[in-house]
Structure 1
Amino acid sequence: MKKLLYLLFLVSFLSFGQDQIPAQNGSITIQPILHGTLVVSYQDLTVYVDPYGGANGFAGQQAADLVLITDIHGDHHNQETLDGLDLSQATIIAPQAVAEKLPKDRYKAVVVLANGSSTDFSGAKISAIPMYNLPETVDSRHPKGRGNGYVVELGGKKLYFSGDTEDIPEMRALQGIDVAFVCMNLPYTMDVDQAANAVAEFKPKMVYPYHYRGTEGLNDVEKFKTLVNAEAPSVEVRLRNWYPEN
């Protein structure tokens, strides 16, 4: 029986490709789902980040206690995916532009965070930081103040989720980040060189390139790793498969 349980666990682990980040009183589990979507678990807390790609992508995952949504675009606020999940007991944290699009009475709560504000949830601190395109123009795909990047503090670790952004000063000024998830896809966010240079400046202990599918296909994350390793060898770059169908 023990051998069977171990094999079932091993199959589940290999299927989902989970990473374990050592933290206080346990580990933080990182589960890539698709593009900019992932599941973060710590103790009894399960966080979904930008659920996208359909509810089937979350098969086998614990139900969400908390959902973070960064922006209004369909690969971040994807109502079809949200509707396919049981989020009746989940709290959603989102910017105002997203919150006003969410259906009423379908979630336990909706908490609106603006850039620079923060809230506490089940022992975690969630801070909203800017995410936007450069230069700042009136026709920007991602104007400053509309969407949120997030810094989540839990288990004595600080996790940064960039959302759709370029290498803005607010990202470069981050301090004490343990795990960063950094986007890189033109023409929507930034290129690999910008992302690597920014990461080399704020030096998270670990970085995952994510959200790297652009109009020309998948960006070169191996190049990103090479650039980061050359400029900031102390930063661990973790490459994972965010596009399992490719």
Structure 2
Amino acid sequence: MAVTVRYLGHAAFVIEADGKQVVIDPFLTGNPLAAAKPEELSPVAILVTHAHNDHVGDAVAISKRTKAPIIATFELGSYLASQGAEAIPANHGGTVKFDGGSAKLVPAWHTSTYGDTFAAPGVPAGFVVRFGGKVLYFAGDTCLFGDMALIGEEGLDLAVLPIGDHFTMGPADAVRAVKLLKPRVVIPCHYNTFPPIQQDPHAFKRDVEAQTEAVCVVLAPGEQYTLA
């Protein structure tokens, strides 16, 4: 089955298969590159990697409207539930089933705070998503770490990796991550939204395809790729 991956800007994605939609890190309101409005999305599940505002984004509002559960680490999921969202709190190593697929929480090296008071509900995560017969890895915000090799053993059809530097790994470390993960396809994210994370994704694409066997697909906000 084909899975359509649509980039909404920054680190926000929508994946679709078999008439079902999953949203990842839906930072849309306040995102200068946002390619969709929250009310346009009708997911069966919402995956949130960590508590920073540029990843939680509109997750609570979308969940309240659609009743889609937010899957996140335990403390963050519990906090978002207290804000009125449907939520399934989980933790690293755990797999949560949703309508049409599943999401396994895996480590990410980053921080995780929410709001202007810097409340710290839990730790960050990435997701290995099984959906539409494909295996997709959303790294969230992270630096390079050696256990990406273990994540690669999941047999990844797609890896979505941050390349912005400053707050996450930059392009050079992201290429090293591709070497560990060994996905068929790579899509970069978390770049060019704000001045500190300006990058050339096409240079990243050239380096990935010169140094690994992966195909790198650069998507502008609003564009999509079909993973056959």
Same fold (TM over 0.5): yes
Aligned residue among 189, 195, 220 for 2:174: 195
Partner SS, residue 3 of structure 2: strand
1:14 corresponding residue in structure 2: none
Alpha-carbon offset, residue 179 of structure 1? 1.0
Aligned residue among 15, 20, 28 for 1:53: 28
Partner SS, residue 127 of structure 1: strand
AA in 2 matched with 1:100: S
1:127 corresponding residue in structure 2: 104
1:170 matches 2:147: yes
Specify whether residues 52 and 194 from structure 1 end up closer, same or farther in structure 2 by C-alpha distance, changes over 3 A only: same
1:39 corresponding residue in structure 2: 14
1:83 corresponding residue in structure 2: 61
Question: Gaps (5+ residues) in structure 2?
Answer: 112-117, 224-228
**Within 2, Cα distance between the matches of 1:44 and 1:69?**
21
**Within 1, Cα distance between the matches of 2:49 and 2:207?**
27
Specify whether residues 237 and 90 from structure 1 end up closer, same or farther in structure 2 by C-alpha distance, changes over 3 A only: same
Partner SS, residue 224 of structure 1: helix
Alpha-carbon offset, residue 186 of structure 1? 2.2
AA in 2 matched with 1:223: A
User: Relative contact order, CA 8 A, sep 6+: which one is greater?
Assistant: 2
Identity between Structure 1 and Structure 2 (%): 26
Alpha-carbon offset, residue 217 of structure 1? 4.3
Which moves more between the two structures, 47-56 or 178-187?
A: 47-56
Alpha-carbon offset, residue 155 of structure 1? 2.2
Q: Deviations over 1:28-66 (max 9, x none)?
A: 111111100011111132101011122982378451110
AA in 1 matched with 2:18: Q
**Within 1, Cα distance between the matches of 2:186 and 2:195?**
23
AA in 2 matched with 1:122: D
Q: Deviations over 1:94-142 (max 9, x none)?
A: 11232233154844x31112111112122312100000049xxxxxx9x
**Within 2, Cα distance between the matches of 1:59 and 1:167?**
31
1:159 matches 2:131: no
2:76 corresponding residue in structure 1: 98
In the superposition, the TM-score normalised over structure 2's length comes to 0.80
**Within 2, Cα distance between the matches of 1:60 and 1:236?**
33
AA in 2 matched with 1:239: V
Aligned positions, number: 208
Partner SS, residue 72 of structure 1: coil
Tell me if the contact between 2:72 and 2:90 (Cα under 8 Å) persists in the aligned partners. Answer: yes
**Within 2, Cα distance between the matches of 1:62 and 1:206?**
25
Tell me which stretches of 4 or more aligned residues in structure 1 moved more than 6 Å: none
Tell me if the contact between 2:160 and 2:187 (Cα under 8 Å) persists in the aligned partners. Answer: yes
**Within 2, Cα distance between the matches of 1:243 and 1:166?**
26
**Within 2, Cα distance between the matches of 1:86 and 1:43?**
23
Tell me if the contact between 2:109 and 2:141 (Cα under 8 Å) persists in the aligned partners. Answer: yes
Aligned residue among 203, 207, 211 for 1:227: 207
Q: Considering only CA atoms, is the larger Rg found in Structure 1 or Structure 2?
A: 1
Tell me if the contact between 1:210 and 1:242 (Cα under 8 Å) persists in the aligned partners. Answer: no
Alpha-carbon offset, residue 170 of structure 1? 2.3
User: RMSD of the TM alignment (CA)?
Assistant: 2.8
**Within 2, Cα distance between the matches of 1:72 and 1:60?**
21
**Within 2, Cα distance between the matches of 1:204 and 1:67?**
23
